């Protein structure tokens, strides 16, 4: 399976990704963890340009093209080969994030994003996507605490630093994507205790007949 985790800032994706990895490995699955933008040396270089506060002041078009350039390399060099080897791939963010952040957050034309997507990765999509939903202010508060003490001048907080309106639009985008793709996307209340969120994720996979190793 190719499983992705999505959500706004501070939704707890990293925690849930690691919990799911441990759960699946205990079931005998070979699990690969990866992230976007990133996952390959080329894509990691692009990541520095996109998510660090000093990465650059990109136009919406340039930003979208960079995200999909990194994604193309990621899919072709890491994700597809791992899936072909029978591994389960868990990815922190994928195309849904680009649609939510650049489309709904920045107001970039969704139809153009769709065209770029088809050109760069075709119809390749996750088997299952977990969208962790949380109140915007609560999420940003969590994200702020996570970033405390990081003063190296290159913190990956470019998007966290954007205004509240951007984050509200971002959340709306994820909710719309969950409605648009109900067979793939599972919307989960990320304000719940960590163990309850994990239990909801596991239950969803088991109900879908996820391979148990």
Note whether residue 11 is domain-resident. yes
- By C-alpha distance, which of 6, 55, 26 is closest to 177? 6
**Beta pairing partners, 4:** 91, 129
Note whether residue 50 is domain-resident. yes
Note whether residue 69 is domain-resident. yes
Note whether residue 59 is domain-resident. yes
Report how many helices (DSSP H) and strands (DSSP E) the chain contains, helices first.
9, 5
pLDDT tens for the chain, 213 residues long, are 999 999 998 899 999 999 999 999 999 999 999 999 999 999 999 998 888 776 678 888 898 999 999 999 999 999 999 999 999 999 999 999 999 999 999 899 999 999 999 999 999 999 999 999 999 999 888 877 654 444 444 464 555 566 788 899 999 999 999 999 999 999 999 999 999 999 999 999 998 864 433
Helices (H), ranges, the chain: 13-26, 41-51, 60-74, 80-84, 95-98, 110-121, 136-147, 164-180, 194-207
Note whether residue 201 is domain-resident. yes
Q: Domain count for the chain, please give it.
A: 1
Domain that residue 128 falls in: 2-207
Note whether residue 212 is domain-resident. no
Note whether residue 98 is domain-resident. yes
3-state secondary structure of 186: strand
Residues 8 and 37: their CA atoms lie apart, in Å, by 15
Note whether residue 213 is domain-resident. no
Cβ-contact 66, 46 below 8 angstroms: yes
**CATH number, domain at 40?**
3.40.50.300
- By C-alpha distance, which of 16, 22, 52, 47 is closest to 129? 16
Does the pTM exceed 0.75?
yes
Cβ-contact 93, 36 below 8 angstroms: yes
């Amino acid at each position: 399976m190719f499983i992705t985790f999505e959500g706004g800032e501070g939704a707890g994706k990293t925690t849930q990704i690691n919990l799911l990895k441990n759960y699946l490995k205990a079931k005998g699955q070979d699990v690969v963890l990866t992230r976007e933008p990133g996952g390959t040396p080329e894509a990691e270089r692009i990541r520095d340009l996109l998510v660090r506060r000093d990465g650059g002041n990109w136009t919406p078009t340039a930003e979208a093209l960079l995200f999909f350039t990194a994604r193309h390399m990621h899919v072709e060099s890491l994700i597809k080969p791992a899936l072909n080897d029978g591994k389960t791939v868990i990815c922190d963010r994928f195309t849904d994030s680009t649609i939510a952040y650049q489309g709904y957050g920045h107001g970039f034309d969704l139809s153009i994003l769709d065209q770029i997507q088809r050109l760069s990765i075709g119809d390749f999509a996750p088997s299952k996507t977990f969208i962790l939903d949380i109140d915007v202010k609560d999420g940003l508060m969590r994200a702020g605490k996570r970033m405390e003490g990081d003063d190296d001048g290159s913190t990956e907080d470019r998007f966290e630093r954007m205004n509240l309106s951007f984050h509200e639009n971002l959340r709306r985008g994820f909710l719309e994507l969950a409605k648009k793709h109900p067979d793939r996307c599972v919307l989960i209340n990320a304000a719940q205790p960590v163990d309850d969120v994990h239990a909801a994720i596991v239950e969803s996979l088991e109900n879908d007949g996820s391979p148990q190793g």
